[in-house]
A and B are shown apart, each in its own frame.
Chain A
Amino acid sequence: TQLLEQSPQFLSIQEGENLTVYCNSSSVFSSLQWYRQEPGEGPVLLVTVVTGGEVKKLKRLTFQFGDARKDSSLHITAAQTGDTGLYLCAGGGGADGLTFGKGTHLIIQP
């Protein structure tokens, strides 16, 4: 069974600060996706990374896939209250679907 561990589990910071959340595994994944989920809704895809060492930017969000394709990070610059949510990483490569981490609950305080 492939496992993905996310850290921290909870993070509360002030608006304008920077933060990084991590997604780690002992398994190699062919792809890594990041989703954001808001209360009462389903997760929504933010990004997919597929190449070891790949870096993708989405406005103030920077996603990195580790060289060995076992880990990933999400860095948010100058966090805004609209960034509040549950961030989930998910590893791909199996025929059955994605393996999800347990998520990072992020709260950005005004």
Chain B
Amino acid sequence: NAGVTQTPKFQVLKTGQSMTLQCAQDMNHEYMSWYRQDPGMGLRLIHYSVGAGITDQGEVPNGYNVSRSTTEDFPLRLLSAAPSQTSVYFCASSKMTGGYSPLHFGNGTRLTVT
């Protein structure tokens, strides 16, 4: 019963480095999303996808890219890391959008950019 799997769990980057946060789900969910969680700011939506081949921007997309080549995978790419991207990143999936079905979250990636 894997659900949503995120890797890595922890990562330290230097300013300017790039990396990809991996997210995979085994529930055949069409909707997937990436959030960042910062103290005092709550969860903010970065990018989302309503199905394979379809992605769109959320509230805070700058500095991040996504792609959705399969239903299962939704990687998040940091192109040139900045200290402002230090955060905890959560991937989530659900059967549908709109808030009627549960969002299933991974356990997060804690990213530090120095």
Report which A residues bind B (CB closer than 8 A): 1, 29-33, 35, 40-45, 48, 50, 88, 90-98, 100-103
Contact = CB atoms under 8 A, between A and B. Distances in A.
Given A96-B56, A97-B31, A45 B103 contact: yes
A contact face: mostly helix, strand, loop, or mixed: strand
Contacts, number: 78
B107 interface: yes
A40 to B, nearest CB: 7
Contacts of B43: 43, 88, 90, 100
A48 B42 contact: no
* Residue from A31, A33, A41, A43 with most neighbouring chain B CB atoms (10 Å): A43
A46 to B, nearest CB: 10
Interface string B53-72: 00010110000000000000
Interface size class of B (residues with CB under 8 A): 20 to 34
Given A41-B108, A43-B105, A50-B100, A96 B48 contact: yes
A32 B99 CA distance: 7
B10 to A, nearest CB: 11
Contacts of B90: 42-43
A12 B3 CA distance: 32
A58 to B, nearest CB: 14
B11 interface: no
Given A30-B99, A48-B101, 11 more contacts: A30-B100, A41-B107, A41-B108, A43-B90, A48-B102, A94-B97, A95-B97, A95-B98, A97-B97, A98-B103, A100-B44
Interface string B3-18: 0100000000000000
B107 A92 contact: no
A64 B19 CA distance: 42
Given A29-B99, A31-B100, A91-B99, A97 B108 contact: no
